[in-house]
């Protein structure tokens, strides 16, 4: 009884290196849940303090903001709200771009515009919070 060896031809498509898997999407998903919960606390606290407590919006003026940002606590509160909201929203838009942009080039340029705008908004917002000078006249 002769044993036959069955030989397969080499595949026509070239071998691709195995894709390196990262956990970026998992961490992104986790960040969205945690930052969303933190933003609920930060934003509801902000709205309660600014709009309901001690007379509501009628007391908000230059002096109120100057007094509020004189405290490192309120600077950190507003900075946390700015950074979490910007990164949370940017991550959501990144996901939408990945889902709906069909061409790689379109996806690339939309993400570039997104990332540049995120960096600019974070830089300007952070600069305003930390360099706010209450001594400047409101006029």
- Please give the residue that has the higher pLDDT: either 66 or 19: 66
Using CB atoms within 10 Å of the CB of residue 101, give its burial: 0 to 12 exposed, 13 to 18 middle, 19+ buried: middle
Tell me the CATH architecture of domain 35-131. Up-down Bundle (1.20)
| pLDDT tens column, 70-118 | 899 999 999 999 999 999 999 999 999 999 999 999 999 999 999 999 9
- Predicted pLDDT of residue 51: 85
Give this prediction's pTM: 0.77
Rounded mean pLDDT of the chain? Answer: 88
DSSP 49: I
Reply yes or no on whether the pLDDT at 29 is more than 70.
Answer: yes
**pLDDT higher than threshold 60 for residue 138:** no
Return the structure tokens found at 32: 């969205």
Supply the pLDDT for residue 65: 86
Higher-confidence residue: 128 or 133?
128
Write out the two tokens for 72.
């490192």
d(CA 73, CA 67): 12
What is the pLDDT, as a whole number, of residue 15?
Answer: 65
Spatial contact of 42 and 77, defined as CB atoms under 8 Å apart: yes
What crossing angle do the helices spanning 72-100 and 24-47 adopt, rounded to 10°? 130
pLDDT category of residue 11 using cuts at 50, 70 and 90: low
Q: How many other C-beta atoms lie within 10 A of the C-beta of residue 29?
A: 12
């Amino acid at each position: 009884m002769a044993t036959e060896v069955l030989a397969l031809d080499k595949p026509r498509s070239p071998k691709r290196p195995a894709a390196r898997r990262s956990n970026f999407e998992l961490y992104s998903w986790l960040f969205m849940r945690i930052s969303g919960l933190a933003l609920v606390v930060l934003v509801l606290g902000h709205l309660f303090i600014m709009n309901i407590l001690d007379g509501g919006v009628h007391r908000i003026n230059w002096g109120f903001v100057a007094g509020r940002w004189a405290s490192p606590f309120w600077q950190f509160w507003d900075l946390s709200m700015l950074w979490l909201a910007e990164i949370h929203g940017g991550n959501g838009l990144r996901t939408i771009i990945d889902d709906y942009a069909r061409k790689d080039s379109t996806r690339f340029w939309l993400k570039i515009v997104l990332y540049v705008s995120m960096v600019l908004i974070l830089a300007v917002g952070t600069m305003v919070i930390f360099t706010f000078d209450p001594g400047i006249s409101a006029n």
